[in-house]
Each structure stands twice: as C-alpha cells, then as structure tokens.
Amino acid sequence: MKILIVEDESINASRLKRLLEELEPNCEILAIIDTVVDTVAWLKSNPAPDLITLDIRLADGLSFSIFDEINISCPVIFTTAYDEYAIRAFKVNSIDYLMKPIDKGELEFALTKFKSLSKNEAESSVTNLTGILKELIHKPIYRLRFLVTYRDGYKSVDVSDIDFIYSEFKTSNLFLKSGTIISIPQTMEELEQELDPNIFFRANRQFFIRAESIKSIANYFNAKLKIQLKLDPEREVIISREKTPFFKQWMDR
C-alpha cells in the first residue's frame, strides 16, 4: 500500500507515519507534504498513491483547494481538528475522517474501511465528504462564552448560563440564570452576529431572549406580542408585528 501523508504539523505527521507503519508493516510512505502548493506539484509529477491522508488546514490554506487544481482519483482519509460532534453525523458518507491527535484504533478502522470499498465507492465517498467539510468550514462559529471583568481580574461566563440579554442606557447586560447582572462591552448589533440564532432571539432593539427564559406569551395591541420573563417578570418585552411571525416560527420547532 503506497500512502501519501499531507500534514503541516511535524508532530502529527510523525505520529501518523508511525501508526501507519505499525498497522500496515508493508506500506510505503511516499512523502510527507505540508502545503497545498507542494501537494499539487507532487500529485502532478508522480503516479497516484493508493491512499492519501489529508489534513484540512495546511500551512498555505485549506486542502480543499487541491481538488480545484487536480483530479484526485485515489481514496482520501481526512484528518481534522474540527468539532467532533458537528462532523460525526457525516461519517457514514466518507472514506473516513480522523480527529487529531490521531487515535490508533480509529486509524485501523479507517484502513479497514478503505480496503473494503471499491474504487468507485471510494471516489464517491471522498467527493461527498469534501462537500460536507467545505460547508462546515464556512459555517458560522458562534460565541460560547464571555470573558468579563471580575474584582481585580477576569472570569468566564458560559453562554449556557445566560437567561436573557438586555440593553439599557446604551450598555449591554447579561442577565444570568443565577440572577446576576453583568455588563459587557459588545453592542446589541455585535451580539446579533456572535450569538447562535437557534438559542437567542432578538426580540427587539433592547432584548435577546431564550425559549426557556419565557414565562408567558400574550397577544398585544396592533398584532404585537408581549413576553413575560420567568426571572424578571417586571421587564416589558414587546415583539413587533413585523417580528411576530419570525418569533412564532422560532418557537414552534
């Protein structure tokens, strides 16, 4: 089995080479390459390997651009540091992907899967996974936590600890599930880009709310809605007539 390793981190490349040689003693590592440019050049000037292990992020860009430069007919096993949970659902469509640091058992499974596929199946699987990974690369990455000042230093506040967010006197405030209120420097417009819209709904100019923060929803005049919050029922959260259909759709899923 002739294998080309494309990996820009020397430690990962060395580990992968060692594991491949342990699992496939008769394999031949043709080269270890760390850039898109050099990979394209190598593939253009050498016979196709039996298998490529391909890191997604290389020293000079994303490895997907290799597929734009040259037709790769051999199977590919991707290696990636992307979120395991985001990509796990797509594993059935691939030759395989390996999360770094590479696990020997997962690599062995990937090699077994590779051997069991016909050439056409392998090419189709690589094409499917390439498209899926491209989508994941460009998928927005939403804020997970806020670093806020605390006494003489800082502390981290997880997004999951926030009940709702409100703006008052041009200052954005996190209202935590504990009842604590913390001011943050981000504007509401900036937060709209940073927060996951599946979790937070921009009710109006002053509020981001979560579904679980809502105590009640009532009809209001002029086709508006009035929201009562569980932890702060005295605050008035009005959803405009224009936003009402979007809010209902957001809640009804």
Which two three-digit tokens encode residue 86? 């985001």
CA distance 75 to 123: 6
- Average pLDDT in the 183-198 region? 92
User: How confident is the model at residue 202, as a pLDDT?
Assistant: 95
Nearest to 244 by CA among 227, 224, 218: 224
Which two three-digit tokens encode residue 172? 């954005």
Q: Phi/psi of residue 170, each to 5°?
A: 65, 20
- Close Cβ partners of 197 (under 8 Å, ≥ 6 residues apart): 250
pLDDT tens readout for residues 45-70: 999 998 999 888 888 888 888 888 88
Is the pLDDT at 86 greater than 60, yes or no?
A: no
User: How confident is the model at residue 95, as a pLDDT?
Assistant: 67
Is the pLDDT at 129 greater than 70, yes or no?
A: no
Is the pLDDT at 89 greater than 50, yes or no?
A: no
User: How confident is the model at residue 91, as a pLDDT?
Assistant: 44
- Of residues 102 and 86, which shows the higher confidence score? 102
β-pairing, 207-209 vs 162-168, is: antiparallel
Of 121-130, 148-157, 187-196, 220-229, the poorest mean pLDDT is in 121-130
Q: What's this model's pTM, rounded to 2 decimal places?
A: 0.50
Give residue 140's pLDDT band: very low, low, confident or very high (50, 70, 90). Answer: low
Give residue 134's pLDDT band: very low, low, confident or very high (50, 70, 90). Answer: low
CA distance 173 to 23: 55
Please count the other Cβ atoms lying within 10 Å of the Cβ belonging to residue 91.
Answer: 11
Give residue 79's pLDDT band: very low, low, confident or very high (50, 70, 90). Answer: confident
- Average pLDDT in the 154-162 region? 93
Sorted by where each starts, the structural domains of the chain and their CATH numbers stand as 2-137 (3.40.50.2300), 145-251 (2.40.50.1020)
The 3-state secondary structure of 187-205, one letter per residue: CHHHHHHHCCCCCCEECCC
β-pairing, 28-33 vs 61-62, is: unpaired
Give residue 131's pLDDT band: very low, low, confident or very high (50, 70, 90). Answer: low
- Average pLDDT in the 197-223 region? 94
